[in-house]
């Protein structure tokens, strides 16, 4: 005779709280597409420039179809991204909303974040497949929104922090850059960090590299647009074998954990640094234990790590898959395994930790 235990009693309040959270997030998931649509159609920019508008006025100003715009506006107002005045039937962006949705130079700029999230979600069926097999999915295999969204997501943070806080936090590096230094920016993607440094330090010479040819093509275009081709050049090269040596500074922005063999890449960095050279590693903000990261920032990063970073690493030789929430202790182990004896946290922000490593 078999006995079965009764199912555990459900706590109705806890269940309702879970369902309430899920309703918010169901709306938020679809809203990633709506923010991207509003950005592409110029709806936020028109509202920011023109003040409160009805959906008809907004549609007319942007050359779009009113019926879609009306629905979009209502969704945005329901989510708190637009204000709505019921008496006039007009929608408006408050100053804070206008900055967050229309100013790409502001550290609060949001459209890139949503574009990155949308691109990652579009590719999620492929992640379902590789999660069965254990295979990887390379950065180069993603839809373009991932590459473009990544640039637009990270660039405002670099604009706000790189020149003002991160480089000055490194020992003696700004002085070298002012005089004229050799710099390798590895895993540079579309090159926003490389170009930013190149603009600020015209006497120095910068080589941005990335294994993804499409990203390097965009980086070259960006450098031409910024007028920094004299001091900045780009190369399609993997981190474990980028060219040159005697670098005063090597930088890696949000990419070490994406690599299959970060220890091999770190060894290569060591072999290409000048004797008193510095390696700056910018990585996602994270505590060392899972329980330290069970918060909104950790949640976002673990999600991106599942969809982008872990599959990227698993697609490459080594497949160490550090994940985007590796934390300082694990990262320091990787650097130590490559022979870096001095590692310290030089700076941090709510989204990033900045490590300085020296041989
Ligand atoms: C999250 S993106 C960051 C890009 C850029 N550093 C930025 O901050 O905008 C990660 C980058 O690492 C690059 N990457 C991944 N594995 C690499 C490897 N083994 N060698 C060189 N680049 C690599 C990807 O192609 C991608 O451009």
Match 């005779």 to its residue by tokens: 1
Paired tokens of 127: 């992640």
- The tens digit of pLDDT for each residue in 238-283 reads 999 999 999 999 999 999 999 999 999 999 999 999 999 999 999 9
Check if 346 has its Cβ closer than 6 Å to any atom of ligand 1: no
What pLDDT, on the 0 to 100 scale, is given for residue 358? 95
- Residue found under tokens 């779009």: 64
Q: Indicate whether residue 352 lines ligand 1 (CB < 6 A).
A: no
Digit-coded pLDDT (tens) for 140-154: 999 999 999 999 999
Give me the residue label for tokens 């709510």.
350
C-alpha separations of 221 from 135, 162, 226 in Å:
33, 22, 9
**Residue 93 CB less than 6 A away from ligand 1:** no
Q: From ligand 1's centre to the CA of 188, what distance in Å?
A: 6
Q: Which ligand 1 atom lies nearest to the CA of residue 212?
A: 25
Q: Do β-strands 182-186 and 247-253 pair in parallel, antiparallel, or remain unpaired?
A: parallel
Helices (H), 138-249: 144-161, 173-179, 192-200, 213-226
- Return the closest-CA partner of residue 321 out of 267, 264, 257: 257
Pocket test for ligand 1, best of 116, 210, 252, 284 (most atoms within 8 A of CB): 210
Q: What is the DSSP string of 291-321?
A: GGG-SHHHHHHHHHIIIIIHHHHHTSTT---
CB-based contacts of 50, cutoff 8 Å, min separation 6: 57, 58, 61
Regarding the beta carbon of 254 and ligand 1, being less than 6 Å apart is answered: yes
Backbone angles phi, psi at 6, to 5 degrees: -65, 150
Instruction: Judge whether 122 and 302 are in contact, CB under 8 Å.
Output: no
Sequence-distant (6+) residues with CB within 8 A of 84 are 73, 74, 77, 90, 91, 92
**180 C-alpha vs ligand 1 centroid, how far in Å?**
26
Q: How far apart are the C-alpha atoms of 323 and 311, rounded to whole Å?
A: 9
Residue nearest to atom 17 of ligand 1 (CA): 259
Return the HEC string of 45-103.
Answer: HHHHHHCCECHHHHHHHHCCCHHHHHHHHHHHHHCCCCEEECCCCEEECCHHHHHHHHC
What is the reported pLDDT for 6? 81
Strand pairing partners for 186? 209, 252
Buried b or exposed e, range 263-297, using 16+ CB within 10 angstroms: bbbbbbbbebbbeebbbbbbbbbbeeeeeebeeee
139 lines ligand 1 (CB under 6 A): yes
Nearest CA residue ID for atom 4, ligand 1 = 189
Question: What separation in Å is there between the alpha carbon of 342 and the centre of ligand 1?
Answer: 24
Residues of the chain with pLDDT under 50: none
Which atom of ligand 1 is nearest to 215's Cα? 27
Q: Is the CB of 151 under 6 A from ligand 1?
A: yes
The verdict on the CB of residue 248 being under 6 Å from ligand 1 is no
Residue 153: the pLDDT is 94
Predicted confidence at residue 1, as pLDDT, reads: 55
Hey, what are 136's tokens?
């990887």
* d(C-alpha 327, C-alpha 309), whole Å: 14
Buried b or exposed e, range 138-148, using 16+ CB within 10 angstroms: bbeebeebbbb
C-alpha 255 to ligand 1 mean position (Å): 5
DSSP H stretches of helix in 188-260: 192-200, 213-226
354: β partners: 282, 347
Packing angle, helices 192-200 and 213-226, rounded to 10: 30
């Amino acid at each position: 005779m078999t006995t079965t235990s009764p199912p555990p009693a459900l706590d109705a309040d806890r269940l309702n709280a879970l369902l309430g959270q899920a309703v918010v997030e169901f709306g938020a998931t679809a809203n990633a597409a709506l923010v991207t649509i509003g950005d592409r159609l110029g709806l936020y920019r028109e509202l920011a420039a023109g003040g409160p508008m009805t959906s008809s006025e907004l549609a007319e100003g942007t050359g779009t179809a009113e019926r879609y715009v009306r629905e979009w506006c209502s969704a945005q107002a329901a989510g708190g991204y637009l204000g709505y005045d019921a008496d006039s039937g007009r929608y408006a962006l408050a100053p804070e909303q206008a900055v967050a949705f229309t100013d790409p130079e502001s550290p609060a700029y949001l459209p890139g974040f949503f574009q990155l999230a949308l691109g990652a979600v579009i590719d999620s069926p492929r992640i379902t497949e590789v999660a069965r097999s254990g295979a990887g999915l390379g950065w180069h295999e993603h839809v373009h929104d991932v590459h473009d969204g990544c640039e637009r997501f990270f660039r405002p943070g670099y604009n706000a922090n790189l020149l003002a806080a991160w480089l000055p936090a490194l020992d003696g590096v700004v002085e070298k850059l002012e005089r004229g230094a050799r710099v390798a920016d590895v895993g540079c993607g579309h090159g926003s960090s490389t170009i930013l440094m190149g603009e600020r330090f015209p006497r120095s010479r910068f080589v941005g590299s990335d294994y993804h040819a499409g990203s390097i093509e965009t980086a070259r275009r960006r450098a031409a647009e910024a007028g920094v081709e004299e001091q900045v050049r780009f190369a399609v090269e993997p981190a474990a074998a980028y060219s040159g040596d005697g670098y005063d500074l090597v930088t890696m922005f949000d990419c070490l954990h994406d690599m299959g063999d970060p220890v091999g890449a770190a060894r290569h960095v060591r072999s290409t640094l000048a004797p008193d050279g510095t390696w700056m590693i910018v990585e996602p903000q994270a505590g060392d234990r899972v329980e330290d990261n069970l918060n909104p920032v950790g949640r976002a990063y673990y999600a991106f790590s599942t969809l982008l970073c872990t599959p990227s690493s698993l697609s490459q030789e080594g497949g160490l898959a550090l994940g985007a929430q590796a934390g300082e202790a694990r990262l320091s182990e990787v650097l130590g395994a490559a022979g870096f004896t001095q590692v310290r946290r030089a700076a941090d922000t709510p989204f990033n930790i900045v490590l300085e490593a020296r041989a």
